[in-house]
Structure 1
Amino acid sequence: MFNKISAQAQKLVNLANKSTDNIKTNTKLVTITSGKGGVGKSTFTANISYILGSLGYKVAVLDADIGLANMQVLYNIKPEITFFDYIDGKVDNVKDIFVQTPYENITLIAGKSGYEYSSKATSFVFTRIVNDILKLDEFDILLIDTGAGLNEYVKEFLDISPNVLAVTTTDPSALTDVYALMKMISSYKDSLLIAFNHTKSYQTGQAITESIKNLAQKNRLNSNFMLKYLGSVSMSQNIATTGRLRKLFAKEFDGDQTTLELRLIVDNLLNNMKV
């Protein structure tokens, strides 16, 4: 019985993937995830969007942290409408949920803190809203900021995205979660991008990435699966300070080492991004 249910679920996943693949759009889709909470994923996402915007890319950010949305805090705005209003049918046009941020070229599709949506966890409503955004072909890049963990919400966004970026730290539990993510998606994807936060040096992240690759090889994960290291951002008080002030460190400290490190990650992301 379990195998039968799993097979049916996989068919639905494949259908969702196919529906996204068939959309004709120039918008590149990137899902940013972490597994473990508290690694700075949302801060990463907001600052990556700023750097992309400053390079001239038109960016949309979908706050997909279901129930714990906080991207509006990082952008220091108070949206009156969220993408749940579109899902619930309160607005008809997907453009009505687009919120302009104070930053050039960055549009937020806000989530809603404290919102419970478990009744439709398996109905692919999130796939449909992503598809509707992609069909508009108005953005160069759509960044999806997921919640922590590997629940059904997160899995849905991972399934439909050709580009998955895992943000982690050197904390053992965070690395364990990244390996679990890698193990899960290696059965149907060919790569995972990885970047480190609060890490002493580029070389530290690089060495840990190689260790994860070796572990995957030892445990005989998909031999064709690639783990691609994008870079590391070191610890800085400037990141915490700007976060408390609801500002982006990549803007406020443009020449800071951490911003330069994140710019390298963005460059590597652009070079490895699939359509």
Structure 2
Amino acid sequence: MFNSISSQASKLINLTKPKNNISKTKVITITSGKGGVGKSTFTANIAYLLAKRGFKVVVIDADIGLANLQVLFDLKPKLTLFDYIEGRNSISEVVSNTAYSNLSLIAGKSGYQYANLNNSLVLSRIVHDIKDYNNYDIVLIDTGAGLNEYVQEFLSVSDNILALTTTDPSALTDVYALMKLLSIDKKSLLLCFNHTRSYQIGETISKSLVNLAKKNLLNPNFMVKYIGNVSTSANISTTSRLRKLFVHEFQHDQITKELQKVIDTLLNDLK
């Protein structure tokens, strides 16, 4: 089945991609380990801010079986990334334009039965093909919670990995597990704290995680870089329920300013 999917997808990409050997597209995978830290909301909002800066952005909802970014963007897409992976549609056909300029979504599919996609790198094939398509400046991949094989697949194809966490002990435990996993064959991890009231708190905890890694003899060449914090606001959950983006509705809010600073650092470190 893998070879069949691969063959069909390759034909589709060859029909749609521009003829350019060097891709301008940068891939950022956003992960968390623990669920419930606000990763999808974070992803949607920074995608909007990047698009506002003039970058052409596409977001891939890679939360297999629990996709929800179409809700945050107030979309009802007819096609999903699985329609492309299974060879039925081209990249351009599975991309949904949002209401925001320069910002598109490749939706996931809630409740999707993915047992037939358990071959290595079937899901992440779309990442390689979007880079070959070379139509976007930035791809943001919103992974699911945990470190299952599907999350690891998307982590493996990205040079830019951003972990979102909170000060909750279980969330920090999961981030440290992510650090151990990535330190084997990755060079770095970007770390951002959500629901954290000050930049200094996140910075202090990040240093503690790095010291713990050194104590436990993780790869000394693996770097963890703290890139900022996002405070808590009731308006974030309210705008999400209304299918609106916080940073669009509250452009001068402190949280929007915090996210802008996160993006400033992220762009400086983009590979």
Q: TM-score normalized by structure 1? A: 0.90
1:182-206 Cα distance to aligned partner (Å, 9 max, x none): 0001010110000010001000000
Structure 2: distance between partners of 1:150 and 1:24:
31
Structure 2: distance between partners of 1:205 and 1:144:
23
- Is the counterpart of residue 71 in structure 1 residue 88 in structure 2? no
Structure 2: distance between partners of 1:55 and 1:101:
16
Gaps of 5+ in 2: 1-20
Matches of residues 35-74 of structure 1 in structure 2 within 5 Å?
35-74=33-72
Amino acid paired to 1:58: K
Gaps of 5+ in 1: 1-22
Amino acid paired to 1:243: S
Q: Is the 8 A contact 2:58 2:106 kept in 1?
A: yes
Q: Is the 8 A contact 2:197 2:231 kept in 1?
A: yes
Amino acid paired to 1:33: T
Q: Is the 8 A contact 1:165 1:195 kept in 2?
A: yes
- Is the counterpart of residue 224 in structure 1 residue 236 in structure 2? no
Q: Is the 8 A contact 1:32 1:167 kept in 2?
A: yes
1:140-188 Cα distance to aligned partner (Å, 9 max, x none): 0000000000001000000110000000000000000000000001010
| 2:61 aligned counterpart, secondary structure | strand
| Aligned residue number for residue 29 of structure 2 | 31
| 1:36 aligned counterpart, secondary structure | coil
| Aligned residue number for residue 84 of structure 1 | 82
- Aligned residue among 137, 143, 148 for 1:146: 143
In the TM superposition, structure 1's runs of 4+ consecutive aligned residues that sit over 2 Å from their partners are none
| Aligned residue number for residue 11 of structure 2 | none
Structure 2: distance between partners of 1:245 and 1:94:
29
Deviation at 1:237, TM superposition (A): 1.1
Q: Is the 8 A contact 2:96 2:106 kept in 1?
A: yes
Amino acid paired to 2:224: L
Q: Is the 8 A contact 1:122 1:152 kept in 2?
A: no
| 2:232 aligned counterpart, secondary structure | coil
| 2:124 aligned counterpart, secondary structure | helix
Deviation at 1:238, TM superposition (A): 1.1
1:79-128 Cα distance to aligned partner (Å, 9 max, x none): 0110111122222x221101000111001001000001123223311221
Aligned alpha-carbon RMSD (Å): 0.9
Amino acid paired to 1:95: S
| 1:192 aligned counterpart, secondary structure | strand
Structure 2: distance between partners of 1:166 and 1:118:
27
| 1:115 aligned counterpart, secondary structure | coil
Amino acid paired to 1:238: N
| 1:125 aligned counterpart, secondary structure | coil
Question: How many residues end up aligned between the 2 structures?
Answer: 251
Deviation at 1:45, TM superposition (A): 0.3
| Aligned residue number for residue 161 of structure 1 | 158
